[in-house]
Amino acid sequence: MNNDLLKHCGYVAIVGRPNVGKSTLLNRILGQKISITTRKPQTTRHQILGIKSTEGAQVIYVDTPGLHTGSKKAMNRYMNKAAASVINDVDVVVFVVDSLRWLDDDEAILEKLKDIKVPVILALNKLDKLQDRDKLLPYIKQLSERMTFKEIIPISATSGENIEALESTVTALLPASPAFFPEDQVTDKSERFIAAELVREKLMMRLGEEIPYSITVEIEQFKLENKVLHIHALIWVERDNQKSIVIGKDGEMLKAVGKQARIEMESMFEKKVFLKLWVKVKDKWADDERALQNLGYTE
């Protein structure tokens, strides 16, 4: 596939504020889980490629962290830079917003998109949660006056409604080009990266509001022995009291997180998994540029 000229091939950035469903959209398009998803904002911290190859086309979607204002930590600066840097290097941008819910962060992203040269498709997500669809047309008209979008498409990343229409619109805008990736490749991320993300996802789902943003996961060992994947994951937190919460009474929280992550890893990697988790404290790692680089937060 790489040597043949495809009718449509290119890069598509999925951008939007935190928690609008960008990762859910990518997973829906690919038909499998690549990006972790939780109900908490700022779940995605890295650019993640999702590659969809079909007859005559290869679309490389770039899932980005949610662009946001207000927080000054080094982690937040990294996430905003990772999201903003991609919009000038793609062929199409899909700007995902919440149906009928426009916030200051949406406005800030819109201002960035007004300066770019590539077509922007506005995807109004969470259509499945919209009680009164009669409100949709006036809202679309209002948004169309803010910027010249190539298309405005209401979708539901959760239910799949209108996703095919979105994909068709995106694909038609891509140039002719040889494929960039083998047709059976679905992401640029390694199994090691995905393992770390799955542990972090389970932690975010189980912990309260503040602690998930003080957590990162580092894979210290990832090796296959006798058809069993041995994975050792180190969970970093910023304070001692966070460590005790992550471990839980008699280690119950850590055991539950480990069990959930292991089950999903076995399904995803199609191998038996032996997963060990540790928790350590690294003071203010999320506001330390060098610590972030050492933990894999690099461009």
Output the six-digit token pair for 270: 């199609």
- Name the pairing type of β-strands 177-178 and 5-6: antiparallel
Report residue 106 CA to chain centroid gap.
17
- 52 three-state secondary structure: strand
- Residue closest to 163 by CA, chosen among 91, 59, 17, 44: 59
Task: Name the stretches of the chain with pLDDT < 50.
Answer: none
How many angstroms separate the Cα of 7 from the Cα of each of 14, 56, 69, 91?
A: 22, 5, 39, 14
Per-residue pLDDT at 30: 95
Gap between the Cα atoms of 73 and 147, Å rounded: 31
CA distances (Å), 176 to each of 14, 20, 46, 164, 238, in order?
Answer: 21, 31, 28, 20, 48
Look up the CATH architecture of domain 191-294: 2-Layer Sandwich (3.30)
Neighbour order of strands in the sheet with 92-98: 48-54, 57-63, 8-15, 92-98, 120-125, 151-154
CA 197/CA 20 separation, integer angstroms: 19
Q: How far apart are CA 294 and CA 290, in angstroms?
A: 6
List the chain domain ranges: 5-178, 191-294
pLDDT in tens, 69-119: 666 677 777 777 777 778 888 999 999 999 878 999 999 899 999 989 999
Pick the CATH number of 5-178 from 3.40.800.20, 3.40.50.2300, 3.40.50.300, 3.40.640.10: 3.40.50.300
* The pLDDT value given to residue 244: 94
Q: Are strands 92-98 and 120-125 parallel, antiparallel or unpaired?
A: parallel
pTM flag (> 0.75):
yes
The secondary structure of residue 287, as a DSSP letter, is: G
What pLDDT, on the 0 to 100 scale, is given for residue 245?
A: 93
Whether residue 287 contacts residue 239, with contact meaning beta carbons closer than 8 Å, is answered with no
Give pLDDT, residue 71. 62
